[in-house]
Amino acid sequence: MVLMTGTEYIESLRKRQPLTIYLMGQKIENPIEHPIIRASINSIALTYDLVHNPDYHELMTAKSILTGETINRFCHLHHSVEDLQNKVKMLRLLGQKCGTCFQRCVGMDAINAVYLTTYDIDRKLGTEYHQKFLDYVRMAETKDWTIDGCMTDPKGDRSKRPSEQANPDVYVHVTERRDDGVVIRGAKAHQTGAVNSHEHLIMPTQTMRKEDSDFAICCAIPADAKGVTYYYGRQSCDLRRMDETVEGDVDCGNPVYGGQECLVIFEDVFVPNERIFMNGENEFCGRIVESFAAYHRQSYGGCKVGVGDVLIGAAASIAEYNGVLKASHIQDKITEMTHLNETLYSCGIACSAAGQKTPAGNYLVDILLANVCKQNVTRFPYEIARLLQDIAGGLFVTCPSAKELNDPETRKVIEKYLVGADGVDTLDRIKMLRLIENLTMGRAAVGYLTESMHGAGSPQAQRIMISRLSNIEEKMKLAKTLALVEE
């Protein structure tokens, strides 16, 4: 059983067939060494390196329910409530360590959702999807894969169903069924860590009707499969990573780690039968979407909290550098940031603690509480970020370029006028300000603020599920009973 290190993970990416990647109008020939892409690779490498750190090994690994071997938790099928809680704790740890999106949550959530859904399909229809998926998960565990969970289609005209679209390619769909497999076309948008993954696990993006059966496809393909093209997403301040000067790293805010989102195009990609886990069974699309969404909404109670810890630390640090850490209003704001952040964590732990064993044998979080968790995530990080910006002051968006520090003459001016509290190095103060910019406005803000809003479904998606699962009729009965109102 392989437990890769970060270096081994990066080497495994080199062994893939060349990917077709476009970034800012250029075809990228060497993505691993590209400054923008490499930062996102470093974040995933961290998920491998922490496995080998004695302080984190137990949290970063799990016992496979398929083989009994020790595996990376990101390849794990949850088999207890403790597993669900450890997942949230692991995600918080990684958010703390890299301060951005580490890109492996989606694949972990996808394999658990597909696992329980293929079991349900086989039980009702007598198909053999579940066994094929078991073989796939064993392979993922053995090879320690990073899997990109592919759910979000571009969708085109939202007022029309997939089969009604003028351009059917805005949803991934089957264009040809053969004895040995299928051919698919379409696209997946907002794909976290797509370029950095070994595999893509493709799922339907919404419930489907019978006429949408060609769009009810769940399958897996290698990231380097023929016919796959990647369009790398632009993010705020991304060009700062192209600055090769040492002082330029200061302007990045988070020089080492970054996130990644891509538009992934599938043009007549062949998928063999052994990698097909749903093929037209439209009545099960809702099951896979609902369970995946629940797992992923639980995830945000961990990863966003970990990044939130960094925001809180940045708030206290810049307050110290400014000489105001002990001010009562600063302490009150930091306390409020902590309260909001721990509330999110509480939701992640709660939906895990209330999880239940599925008929397939893995554990699923409490779906209502997972949606409550994500609904809070669409709000609280924005307030946490607002408070951080309040504490930081305006310099985090008006600070001169770090290149001014390269010239001895201009550096003297910067150090003289941007000095903070006694004993604080001006460069350290600037580094912290740039980190705050990165966390609340720059590249990390994509993985913290925007992803908090739209990742795992936008706010209305959670409100629909909360309304559906809130059991209002039963609550009405409770009130009427106490009020002695007879039905």
Per residue in 200-256, pLDDT (tens digit) is: 999 999 999 999 999 999 999 999 999 999 999 998 888 888 876 655 688 999 999
Q: Looking at residue 247, what is its pLDDT?
A: 58
Mean pLDDT of the chain: 96
CATH number (domain holding residue 456): 1.20.140.10
What span, in angstroms and rounded, lies between the C-alpha atoms of 398 and 2?
48
The count of domains in the chain is: 2
Active site residue 303: yes
Q: Both 11 and 78 in a single domain?
A: yes
Closest CA to 101 of 146, 138, 137, 55: 146
Q: Which of the following is catalytic: 296, 363, 399, 437? A: 296
Tens of pLDDT, residue by residue over 45-94, are: 999 999 999 999 999 999 999 999 999 999 999 999 999 999 999 999 99
Q: Both 269 and 295 in a single domain?
A: no
Q: Which of the following is catalytic: 101, 262, 347, 373? A: 101
Average confidence (pLDDT) over 176-188: 98
Q: Both 269 and 301 in a single domain?
A: no
Active site residue 101: yes
Average confidence (pLDDT) over 318-325: 98
Percent share of the chain, pLDDT over 90: 92
Q: Looking at residue 60, what is its pLDDT?
A: 98
Q: Which of the following is catalytic: 9, 171, 232, 300? A: 300
DSSP letter for 144, please: T
Band (pLDDT 50/70/90 cuts) for residue 382 is very high
Q: How far is CA 248 from CA 32, 108, 254, 368, 398, in A?
A: 20, 35, 11, 46, 16
Active site residue 300: yes
Active site residue 150: no
Q: Which of the following is catalytic: 141, 261, 281, 437? A: 261
CATH number (domain holding residue 242): 2.40.110.10
Q: Which of the following is catalytic: 98, 262, 303, 373? A: 303
Residues 6 or more apart from 82 whose CB is under 8 A from it?
none
Range of the domain at 402: 288-478
Q: Both 400 and 418 in a single domain?
A: yes
- Number of neighbouring beta carbons within 10 Å of residue 268: 11
Average confidence (pLDDT) over 319-341: 98
pTM, to two decimals: 0.96
Query: Can you give the length of the chain in residues?
Result: 487
Band (pLDDT 50/70/90 cuts) for residue 436 is very high
Active site residue 58: no
Is residue 1 domain-resident? Answer: no
Average confidence (pLDDT) over 133-139: 98
Question: Residue 388: is its pLDDT beyond 80?
Answer: yes
Tens of pLDDT, residue by residue over 229-239, are: 999 999 888 88
Q: Both 362 and 338 in a single domain?
A: yes
Band (pLDDT 50/70/90 cuts) for residue 2 is confident
Active site residue 192: yes
User: Cβ-count burial of 450 within 10 angstroms (0-12 exposed, 13-18 middle, 19+ buried)?
Assistant: middle
Boundary (domain end) residue, out of 242, 262, 283: 283
Q: Which of the following is catalytic: 98, 105, 219, 262? A: 105
Active site residue 296: yes
Half-sphere exposure of 29 (CA within 13 A, CB side): 0
Q: Both 442 and 328 in a single domain?
A: yes
Band (pLDDT 50/70/90 cuts) for residue 29 is very high
Tens of pLDDT, residue by residue over 92-122, are: 999 999 999 999 999 999 999 999 999 999 9
Band (pLDDT 50/70/90 cuts) for residue 487 is confident
